[in-house]
Amino acid sequence: MQVRRIKLTRIKEKEEYNDEDFVAVEEPLQIRICNRSCDTFAVIMRTPGNDKELSLGFLYSEGVIDNIEDVKNIDQRGNTIDVWISKPLKVKTRDLIVNSSCGVCGRAFLYTIDIIKSETKAKKEVIFSLPEKLKERQNVFNITGGLHASALFTIDGELIYLYEDVGRHNAVDKIIGRLILEKKIPASSYIMQVSGRLGYEIVSKGIKAGIPIICGISAPTSLAIEMAEEAGVTLIGFLRGRSFNIYTHMERIVF
DSSP character for 116? P
* Cβ contacts of 224 within 8 Å, gap of 6 or more: 198, 199, 200, 202, 203, 235
CA distances for 30 relative to 42, 95, 125, angstroms: 6, 11, 42
* Cβ contacts of 91 within 8 Å, gap of 6 or more: 62, 63, 64, 108
> Which residue is catalytic, options 34, 102, 105, 215?
102
Angle CA 149–151–154, to nearest 5: 165
38 is catalytic: no
DSSP character for 174? H
Task: Please say whether the dihedral angle defined by the alpha carbons of residues 173, 228, 235 and 147, taken in this order, is positive or negative.
Answer: positive
The number of residues making up the chain comes to: 255
DSSP character for 218? S
How far apart, in whole angstroms, are the C-alpha atoms of residue 59 and residue 177?
9
Note whether 237 and 127 are within 8 A (CB): no
Catalytic site positions = 102
